Amino acid sequence: MGSGPSGASMKIVSAVITLLLMVVFLGYMMIWSVTPTNTFYLNWFPDVEKKTSSTYLGEQGSTILIYAFPILFIATIASLYLHLEKKYDHDINTRLFSRMILSKRLAITKGPLGIVTWTELTFLAMFVALLVWSLYSYMHDMFAFAAVEAAQEKFQVWEVKLETAGLSLGLVGNTCLAFLFFPVARGSSVLQYVGLTSEASIKYHIWLGHITMAIFTAHGLFYVTYWSLTHQILQILKWDKFMVSNVAGEIALLAGLVMWATSFGRIRRKIFELFYYSHHLYVVFVIFYVFHVGFAGSCLILPGFYLFLIDRYLRLLQSQQKIRSVAARILPSETVELNFSKSSGLSYAPTSIAFINVPSISRIQWHPFTVTSNSNMDSDKLSVVIKCDGSWSHKLYQILSSPSPTNRLEVSIEGPYGPPSANFMRYEKLVLVSGGSGVTPFISIIREIIFKSNTTGSKTPAIHLICAFKKYANLTMLELLLPVSGTTLDLSRLQLQIEAYITQETEPKTVNQSSIRTILFKPNPSDAPVSAVLGPNSWLWLSVIISSSFIIFLLLTGLLTRFYIFPIDHNTNMKYPMPASSAFGMLFVCVAITIAASAAFLWNKRENAKELNQIRTTDMSTPAPSPASLLYETELESLPHQSLRQATTVQLGRRPNLKKILSELKEENVGVYVSGPRTMRQEVAAVCSSFSADNLHFESISFSW
């Protein structure tokens, strides 16, 4: 426990911050619920514009205040709280909002939405209700003026209503777009504060993406139909300097349609690279969306994209550093464990994910892998496990498993990203169900519990690991449950039971232990240990970046508006071209983020240089091992590995009867974690949802090879 505020004080701080952020968030959502009404547009918003209109921020001043500031305030305060939580070792589960979000009571186990909890289903229903209400309110209020507009423009009333419906759909699409980028910010303080990870939140991005593109596609079709029926088809080519630009909207829609078409499950799974690279069209989509609605109009969706840009730029800075590779363990099941040097200040929770790039294979491909090491047990090392399941991983395995393996592996790493804490420690028993490569996140969980059982007097949960493999040789993956440095660990303190099922073989096969080996890499003086991009005080620095970059953005916008745009336009919005002001707005956002994030990164890089020099000095003073490849056979005879084998039972030619195993659980507090193919996750979820016992808590864990 770190020094500082007591547990009672932290609970008070947590309660105050939670109350403050919930009030701000509820106010923000209330704004979205009243935005479609005439009360807001004809009364409240004009009043706010009068009070906030100035020669410095112009038209976008009111939209920045109403739509952007609340979320950026939440992100800043959440970052500060996460810093305090980490510094004083406060338990995340004491947060009311976190406990509500982390509720795992299942509502749906199969279907297009995947595995959905009641909490997620409730929020989804509330969001859909907001969209339906917004569409109804926009159309109802604007239809009231349809007859007047039809008489003025000499169109049919239904034709005017058709255009109004298209406009209403576009405005509702803005609501979806405002939330679209939140789930894909990997280092988001907002997600971390409510106890979510970017991996677990991807499904929310998928839901929002489908809804957004369906609405925007309908928006575009309604307008094309309206222009065609009213003989205004040339409106498709319109790029207005002061009003909405149709061409920009069409380009944005086309970019969105390409991303949408390649994001469906079958294409994403079978042709992942097509999906991955086409998704970079989000840059085109956002740029031309801003040109379409103007920068002032785009401030409605600014906060989500602003936080995403900060996260994306920080990831770019981290990914430029070459990481010091220490060793690789080669298993006969075509599996590799890579070990990297790690900064002692870098800590992460079990089941975290790191993105790996090996330039010798591909300079542009980044692949996510589950981190199997434990930041407590392995204070100076980070490990990931990679199984051959694609061309990239096969090339890596061939490089490392050749008779003359390389003595240096050049690697860049982004991350790690993961849950805010190891919340599985609160259970009496853990049932870990994995299929094939899904065992990897459980390696980090078991290592964490091994560490807790050997270093603390607190009670650790009993573990029942149920793993299914296709081949007998895959059993060697269980050896990864123990790290290379783990030969002195006492597994007798750990209540561990492992049931391994071999589904495609009925006879045991001898595994040549001499083929399990460790390759030691030669360090390069320019390589650095894996470290947090903003150092050990990352959350504090993130709050500084969010707040300072926003201030810089406001200063740049204010100076441009006051001394250049206002003398020309005088806030009429009819003399200074909207595309130019939109371009300046986007430029200032990028410049502000670049200045603030680069300054924070360089400051922390200078601070981390001392630790890097110490590691280099250690490398120079420590003689390199004489053999380039060390057999792993002697390690297999150590006491921990003997205990591991004694705790393991193997069933051949069978699949686990999950319903029977889970129905026999009698403990008061059981956590069921599943990681594996979608069918297995759905099966376990269905079994858990069929039990009415309150003691059974289900969670599906994302894993990556």
Is residue 232 domain-shared with residue 95, that is, in the same domain?
Answer: yes
Share of the chain above pLDDT 90, in %: 29
For the cut 80, the answer to whether the pLDDT of residue 576 exceeds it is yes
Among candidates 28, 72, 86, which has minimal Cα distance to 546? 72
Is residue 158 domain-shared with residue 248, that is, in the same domain?
Answer: yes
Q: At what angle do helices 157-180 and 146-153 cross, to 10 degrees?
A: 120
Do the domain assignments include residue 84? yes
Give me the pLDDT at residue 486, please.
Answer: 46
Categorise residue 451: left if φ over 0, alpha if ψ from -120 to 50, beta otherwise.
alpha
Do the domain assignments include residue 117? yes
Share of the chain above pLDDT 70, in %: 87
Question: What does the pLDDT look like over 485-503, one tens digit per residue?
Answer: 544 666 667 788 888 888 8
Total residue count of the chain as it appears in this document: 705
* DSSP string computed for 646-686: HTEEEEES----HHHHHHT---SSEEEEEES-HHHHHHHHH
Upstream peptide bond of 627 is cis (omega within 30 degrees of 0): no
Q: What is the mean pLDDT of the chain?
A: 82
**How many separate domains does the chain show?**
2
Is residue 257 domain-shared with residue 365, that is, in the same domain?
Answer: no
Give me the pLDDT at residue 499, please.
Answer: 86
Do the domain assignments include residue 618? no
Do the domain assignments include residue 56? yes
Question: What does the pLDDT look like over 33-92, one tens digit per residue?
Answer: 999 998 888 888 888 877 777 778 877 888 999 999 999 999 999 999 988 887 776 555
Q: For position 522, which CATH number holds?
A: 3.40.50.80
Give me the pLDDT at residue 628, please.
Answer: 37
Do the domain assignments include residue 564? no
Region 591-600: mean pLDDT is: 96
Range of the domain at 521: 322-530+657-701
Is residue 296 domain-shared with residue 363, that is, in the same domain?
Answer: no
Is residue 289 domain-shared with residue 358, that is, in the same domain?
Answer: no
Is residue 287 domain-shared with residue 390, that is, in the same domain?
Answer: no
Q: At what angle do helices 302-319 and 578-621 cross, to 10 degrees?
A: 30
Q: Are strands 696-700 and 670-675 parallel, antiparallel or unpaired?
A: parallel
Q: Which residue has the higher pLDDT, 294 or 625?
A: 294
Is residue 62 domain-shared with residue 183, that is, in the same domain?
Answer: yes
Residue type, 388: C
Q: Which two tokens stand for residue 705?
A: 């090879």
Three-state secondary structure string covering 503-527? CCCCCCCCCCHHHCEEEECCCCCCC
Give me the pLDDT at residue 610, please.
Answer: 65
Distance CA 416, CA 370 (A): 9
